[in-house]
Amino acid sequence: MPTTSVLLPDSLTFSGDSILVDHHDQNFLVCCFYTPNYQQHAQQLKQSLDNLNINHYLQSVPDQGYWEANTRIKPYFLQHCLTRFANKNILYLDADAVVKRPLDYFENIDTDIAVYETHRAKGMSHDYLTGTIFLRQTPATHDLVEKWCMAQQPEKKTQVDQDSFDSAMQQMKAQLSIEPLPLGYIKIFDKDYSGTVYIEQYQASRGQTKLRRQRIRRRNQILAGVVIILIIITALKIF
C-alpha cells in the first residue's frame, strides 16, 4: 500500500542505529524513535517489550536542535514505518513509555486508527494525545499521516506534533474510522487512574528545555525591565 513521500527536513534521517525484533506472532509492530538524550528511556521501553515478547522497531534519529522540533519528527517517522513495514499495522509509542501488560487488544482493532481523545478535559491543550497511536494499514490511514506531515510548519518553531495532528484530524476525521483508545493504554504516570494499566507514559518531556517556555521567560524579562525603567522615570519626574 504505497504512501506519497513527503520531503524530510534536511537534518532528519532514519538511517542511524536501530533495533528490529519481528519474530513473534503479532499483526502489529511497536515503533518508536528516539534522540540521543532519550536513549536510556528507549532502552527501558525495549526491556518492557522484550519481557512481554512484543515485536518492535526502535530507531535513533538526530536531535533537531530543540524539543519542539524533535516532536515534529513523529509524522515523518510514522510514514517511514508504514512504508517500510507494509505487512504490519503500526503501534507508535513515545520513547519514555513502558509496556506493563500484553497488548493483545491491538490485534483485533478493525478501524483505521486508535487514539485517545481528550475532549479538552481540564489540563488538556489538544484534542488528542499522541504518545500512543495505533495505525492500521489502510488508504485512509496513509492519507492521514501524509496530511499530518504536510501540516508541519517548520517556520513556526514552537509548533509541536499534537498541533499538526489536530490539524490533520480536522481535515480527515470524516473519512476515518476511529477507535477511542482506552486510558489504560496511554496512562500518564502521575495521574490518578483506577483501571488496568497496559502502557504507562513517563513524561520525560517535562525535564526538557522548551523553546516556547524560553520565549515566554524572555518576554517576561523584557516586560519587567520596561516596567522598572518606567517606574524610575516616573520617580525622577516626581522628585
- What's the CATH number where 119 sits? 3.90.550.10
Claim to verify: residue 56 and residue 28 sit in the same structural domain: yes
The alpha helices in 114-160, defined as continuous H runs, are 139-150
Residue 5 is predicted with a pLDDT of 63
- Specify whether 165 is located in the same domain as 214: no
Per-residue pLDDT band at 229 (split at 50, 70, 90): low
Q: Please, which residues bridge with residue 128 across strands?
A: 117
Q: Tell me, yes or no, whether 237 and 164 share the same domain.
A: no
Contact 198, 99 (CB under 8 A): yes
Q: Which domain holds residue 73?
A: 18-208
Question: Is residue 215 located within the same domain as residue 158?
Answer: no
What is this structure's pTM?
A: 0.84
Span 35-62, pLDDT tens digits:
999 999 999 999 999 999 999 999 999 9
Q: Per-residue pLDDT tens for 20-38? A: 999 999 999 999 999 999 9
Predicted local distance difference test score (pLDDT) of residue 221: 39
For residue 13, being part of any structural domain is answered with no
Q: What is the pLDDT of residues 135-159, one digit of tens each?
A: 999 999 999 999 999 999 878 889 9
155 and 166 housed in the same domain: yes
Q: What's the mean pLDDT in 177-201?
A: 94
Q: Cβ-count burial of 28 within 10 angstroms (0-12 exposed, 13-18 middle, 19+ buried)? A: buried
Domain count within the chain: 2
Report how far residue 132's alpha carbon sits from residue 116's, in angstroms, rounded to the nearest whole number: 8
Residue 134 backbone phi and psi in degrees, to 5 = -100, 130
Element at 134 (helix H, strand E): strand 128-135
Q: Are residues 216 and 203 in the same domain?
A: no
CA distance 54 to 24: 7
Asked whether residue 8 is domain-assigned, the answer is no
Same domain, 233 and 194: no
- Reported as a single tens digit per residue, the pLDDT across 66-98 is 999 999 999 999 999 999 999 999 999 999 999
Region 195-224 average pLDDT: 63
- Is 54:99 a contact under the CB 8 Å cutoff? yes
